[in-house]
């Protein structure tokens, strides 16, 4: 863990309540997908923990949902620097994923899976992803996962996009493809 300053390069909405923030700074300590950062915000006592969506040399991408004072403050940031505790958490161990990993996430659980899928694809693995949302207007990063070469399924609770229901409904259909998946 290191305390670092990152410069805000972009902060844009992906959906009504989901934002993507791109930062510039030292990402050398981010060693595994699944790690997170803690962001210090002016006037707020506690830092905000945010999962890392992606990290490349000098570039950090965070996706967050606007739900309270801290994330509302973040939503309104268009420039400046952020005080960040970087490289928190152990992250995912891709060596135990097998050759055909199935990644499953819904809502704000989707962002950390992006860097994981990216890493698994670099390792030559056939990645399948099931993304779950409440409704079509909440869907994000579907095309980004496809661009990595992942097989992507999307579910919406209301059936307005993809498969109607939950991620478990798609899992049931795919269980013959994956060892160890129970219905």
Tokens of 49: 């923990």
Dihedrals phi, psi of 111, to nearest 5 degrees: -50, -45
Reported pTM? 0.92
CA dihedral of residues 96, 102, 105, 111 (deg, nearest 10)? 70
DSSP letter (8 states) at residue 142 = H
State the chain's mean pLDDT as an integer: 93
Q: What's the mean pLDDT in 9-25? A: 98
Q: pLDDT band at residue 176, thresholds of 50, 70 and 90?
A: very low
Q: Is pLDDT larger for residue 183 or for residue 50?
A: 50
| Per-residue confidence band for 135, with pLDDT thresholds at 50, 70 and 90 | very high
Quick: pLDDT tens for 76-133.
Answer: 999 999 999 999 999 999 999 999 999 999 999 999 999 999 999 999 999 999 999 9
Q: How confident is the model at residue 175, as a pLDDT?
A: 57
Q: 142-157, pLDDT tens digit by residue? A: 999 999 999 999 999 9
φ and ψ at residue 161, rounded to 5 degrees:
-160, 145
Tell me, what's the pLDDT at 174? 63
Task: Say yes or no to pLDDT of 182 above 70.
Answer: no
């Amino acid at each position: 863990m290191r305390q670092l300053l990152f410069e805000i390069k972009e902060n844009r909405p992906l959906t009504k309540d989901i934002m993507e923030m791109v930062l510039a700074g030292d990402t050398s300590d981010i060693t595994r997908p699944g790690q997170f950062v803690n962001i210090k915000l002016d006037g707020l006592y506690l830092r905000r923990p945010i999962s890392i969506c992606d990290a490349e040399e000098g570039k950090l991408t965070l996706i967050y949902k606007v739900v309270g004072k801290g994330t509302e403050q973040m939503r309104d940031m268009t420039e400046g620097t952020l005080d960040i505790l970087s490289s928190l958490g152990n992250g995912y161990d891709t060596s135990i994923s097998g050759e055909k990993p199935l990644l499953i996430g819904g809502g704000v659980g989707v962002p950390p899976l992006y860097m994981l899928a990216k890493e698994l694809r670099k390792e030559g693995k056939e990645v399948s992803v099931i993304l779950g949302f409440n409704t079509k207007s909440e869907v994000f990063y579907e095309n980004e996962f496809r661009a990595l070469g992942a097989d992507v399924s999307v579910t919406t609770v209301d059936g307005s996009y993809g498969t109607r229901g939950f991620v478990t409904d798609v899992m049931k259909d795919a269980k013959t493809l994956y060892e160890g998946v129970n219905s």
